[in-house]
């Protein structure tokens, strides 16, 4: 059976760590988050206009979607398309005076293709000031609230698997594996 699993949640919730472990356990391809590589290479999002930021999000989305489509045997993705929709809202990427919600709509529609979206909880793991992502709890809570609302509104019933507030990686892995049965 081909499993299509996407992880969702704010920065610092443990998506990458859990995603790599799940991919290993299930023998699936792990699809890394594209933004992280760019930030580590020196990209400063604060230097981008909203149009440039939106264009970047669309490029990142196409890269992820293409990687997902190439993963014929299934995958674990370190972001869901619902996260892209939440970023669109979080960063105010809708443009003033324009009512084009097509990126948001496209990203939410694609989310239906996942077998499971694993939502990790905010505020359980300590945020690390790594210079890549914001270490502000409140910025991360804002994004988490938006992504949770997006999932609640647009994900299929039973599609989202919420990870409980535990720091125990093994418990998280077991919970997700059991939730896939």
Q: What pLDDT score was predicted for residue 1?
A: 59
pLDDT for 96 beyond 70: no
What percent of the chain clears pLDDT 90, i.e. is strictly above it? 67
Distance CA 142, CA 10 (A): 9
| Residue range(s) defining the domain that contains residue 89 | 3-179
The answer to whether 21 touches 169, Cβ cutoff 8 Å, is yes
Q: Report, as an integer, the average pLDDT of 23-47.
A: 92
Q: Report, as an integer, the average pLDDT of 147-165.
A: 95
Q: What is the pTM of this model?
A: 0.91
What percent of the chain clears pLDDT 70, i.e. is strictly above it? 96
pLDDT digits (tens, 9 = 90+) for 118-131: 999 999 887 777 77
Distance CA 181, CA 166 (A): 21
Q: Report, as an integer, the average pLDDT of 100-108.
A: 78
Q: Report, as an integer, the average pLDDT of 112-116.
A: 94
In degrees rounded to 5, what are phi and psi of residue 171?
-65, -40
Residue 51 binned pLDDT confidence (cut-offs 50, 70, 90): confident
Top-confidence residue, 89 or 100: 89
Q: What pLDDT score was predicted for residue 7?
A: 98
The number of domains in the chain is 1
For 51-60, 96-105, 138-147, which range has the lowest pLDDT when averaged over its residues? 96-105
pLDDT for 146 beyond 90: yes
Q: DSSP secondary structure string, 87-119?
A: HHHHTT-SPTT----HHHHHHHHHHTT-SEEEE
pLDDT digits (tens, 9 = 90+) for 56-91: 999 999 999 999 999 999 999 999 999 999 999 998
pLDDT for 97 beyond 90: no
Distance CA 53, CA 49 (A): 6
Residue 101 binned pLDDT confidence (cut-offs 50, 70, 90): low
Distance CA 9, CA 107 (A): 15
In degrees rounded to 5, what are phi and psi of residue 114?
-75, 140
CATH (domain of 28): 3.40.50.300
């Amino acid at each position: 059976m081909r499993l299509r699993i996407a992880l969702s949640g704010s920065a610092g919730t443990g998506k990458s760590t859990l995603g790599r472990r799940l991919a290993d356990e299930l023998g699936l391809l792990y699809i890394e988050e594209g933004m992280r590589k760019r930030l580590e290479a020196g990209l400063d999002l604060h230097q981008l206009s909203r149009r440039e930021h939106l264009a970047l999000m669309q490029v990142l989305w196409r890269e992820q979607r293409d990687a997902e489509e190439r993963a014929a045997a299934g995958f674990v993705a370190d972001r869901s398309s619902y996260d892209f929709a939440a970023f669109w809202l979080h960063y105010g990427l809708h443009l003033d005076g324009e009512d084009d919600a097509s990126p948001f709509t496209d990203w939410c529609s694609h989310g239906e293709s996942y077998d499971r979206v694993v939502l990790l909880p905010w505020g359980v793991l300590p945020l690390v000031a790594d210079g890549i992502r914001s270490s502000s709890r409140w910025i991360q809570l804002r994004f988490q609230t938006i992504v949770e609302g997006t999932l609640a509104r647009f994900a299929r019933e039973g599609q989202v698997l919420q990870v409980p507030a535990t720091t125990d990686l093994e418990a998280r892995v077991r919970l997700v594996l059991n939730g896939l049965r």
